[in-house]
């Protein structure tokens, strides 16, 4: 191990930790030295898969025993604030999974409390997907002219029972069955965050939520109407009970510009109008790639002291839109 490598502890060895451990394995400048989960069998499994020296069944024990530089918080949302506080108490910089906290109020209080005591970044990894950053670059270069309309949608059938009676979303993330705030808080938060990164700060104008699958208590249909500071309409839609759509389908984005428009569909992104450009991406590769890029960004910005693109403070903007979406939606429309 080179002297310049940061020592990392990972808290939480559940479903999405696989993508985190893979990202840490591929990054430059850091090495995971410990894995922690109250379910020690999960920590041991990841330790075996990724050749990690130590496992712990309690975060406190891990922080006490290891001299960590960085911690990666990959635990359920309601535990994030306590994990971040523990990192602060041990002067360890933290990368925390989204959402930073279950509510905007809790997240705001946490950001105020942490201040500059440690570096704190949120893993809003979708933003780092190369097809979104390419669209962002086109917008910045003015190639779309004036943007007049924006739409992003996520359609999957993963919250419907399949022919075998299995609900694919629950195989990966069983905890979702009991989440009252489901689609927007867990998944569309990414689409909202991507929209902020492309369109600037937004306000929610109206929203509607629906439930189209009896396997969940929360919403799995959402339509959010937003507007940016230039008065451009941005529509964010998610329907995870859409029969016939792939269970891990990516986003569709349509942006209308006065010079060029953009279409992202099935990981193919096109610029068309005054000029034509087309780029084909691999959706499966992009899914892991955004974890790799987000983790590398965290390491690099800790090292050079520059601001994080997806700082904890920045996350408050996304969480405000999530909160406003729930507040404006009224009762969840029941379709089951």
> According to the binding rule CB under 6 A, does residue 170 interact with ligand NAD?
no
Mark the segment that binds ligand NAD (CB under 6 A) among 30-38, 108-116, 296-304, 305-313: 30-38
Per CB under 6 A, the list member of 23, 37, 271, 295 interacting with ligand NAD is 37
| Subset of residues 106 to 125 that bind ligand NAD, contact rule: CB under 6 A | 123, 125
Cβ nearer to ligand NAD, comparing 139 with 156: 156
Cα separation, 205 vs 62, in Å, equals 45
Report strand pairing: 6-11 vs 30-36: parallel
Least distance to ligand NAD, CB of residue 271, Å: 26
Least distance to ligand NAD, CB of residue 295, Å: 11
Place of tokens 């983790």: 295
Cα separation, 198 vs 300, in Å, equals 23
Q: 51 Cβ partners below 8 Å, 6+ apart?
A: none
Mark the segment that binds ligand NAD (CB under 6 A) among 31-39, 215-223, 230-238, 275-283: 31-39
Whether 42 contacts 28, CB under 8 Å = no
User: Residue 132, SS3?
Assistant: helix
Cα separation, 324 vs 150, in Å, equals 19
Total residues at the site for ligand NAD (CB under 6 A)?
A: 25
Cβ nearer to ligand NAD, comparing 16 with 247: 16
Give the DSSP H/E element, type plus range, for residue 211: strand 202-211
> According to the binding rule CB under 6 A, does residue 153 interact with ligand NAD?
no
Cα separation, 211 vs 228, in Å, equals 28
Cβ nearer to ligand NAD, comparing 42 with 93: 42
For binding to ligand NAD (CB under 6 A), which residues are involved? Answer: 11-17, 36-39, 42, 59, 74-77, 79, 97-98, 123, 125, 173, 175, 186
């Amino acid at each position: 191990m080179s002297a310049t490598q940061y020592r990392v502890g990972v808290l939480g060895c559940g479903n999405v930790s696989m993508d985190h451990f893979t990202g840490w394995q591929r990054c430059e400048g850091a090495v995971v030295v410990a894995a922690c989960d109250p379910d020690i069998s999960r920590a041991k499994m990841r330790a075996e898969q990724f050749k990690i020296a130590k496992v712990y069944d309690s975060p406190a024990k891990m922080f006490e025993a290891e001299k960590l530089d960085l911690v990666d918080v990959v635990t359920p949302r309601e535990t994030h604030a306590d994990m971040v506080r523990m990192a602060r108490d041990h002067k360890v910089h933290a990368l925390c999974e989204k959402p930073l906290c279950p509510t905007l109020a809790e997240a705001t209080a946490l950001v105020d409390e942490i201040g500059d005591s440690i570096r704190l970044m949120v893993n809003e990894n979708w933003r780092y997907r190369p097809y979104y950053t390419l669209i962002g670059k086109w917008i910045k270069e003015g190639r779309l002219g004036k943007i007049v309309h924006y739409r992003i949608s996520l359609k999957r059938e993963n919250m419907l029972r399949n022919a075998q009676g299995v609900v694919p979303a629950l195989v990966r993330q069983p905890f979702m069955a009991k989440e009252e705030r489901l689609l927007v808080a867990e998944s569309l938060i990414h689409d909202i965050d991507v929209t902020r990164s492309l369109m600037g700060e937004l306000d929610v104008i109206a929203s509607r939520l629906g439930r189209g699958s009896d396997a969940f208590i929360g919403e799995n249909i959402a339509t959010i109407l937003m507007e940016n500071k230039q008065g451009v309409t941005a529509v964010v839609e998610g329907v995870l009970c859409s029969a016939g759509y792939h269970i891990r389908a990516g986003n569709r984005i349509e942006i209308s510009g006065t010079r060029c428009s953009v279409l992202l569909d099935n990981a193919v992104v096109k610029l068309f109008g005054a000029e034509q450009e087309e780029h084909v991406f691999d959706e499966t590769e992009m899914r892991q790639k955004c974890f790799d890029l987000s983790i590398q960004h965290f390491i690099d910005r800790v090292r050079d002291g520059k601001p994080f693109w997806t700082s904890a403070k920045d996350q408050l903007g996304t969480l405000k839109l999530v909160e406003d979406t729930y507040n404006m939606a009224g009762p969840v429309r029941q379709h089951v």
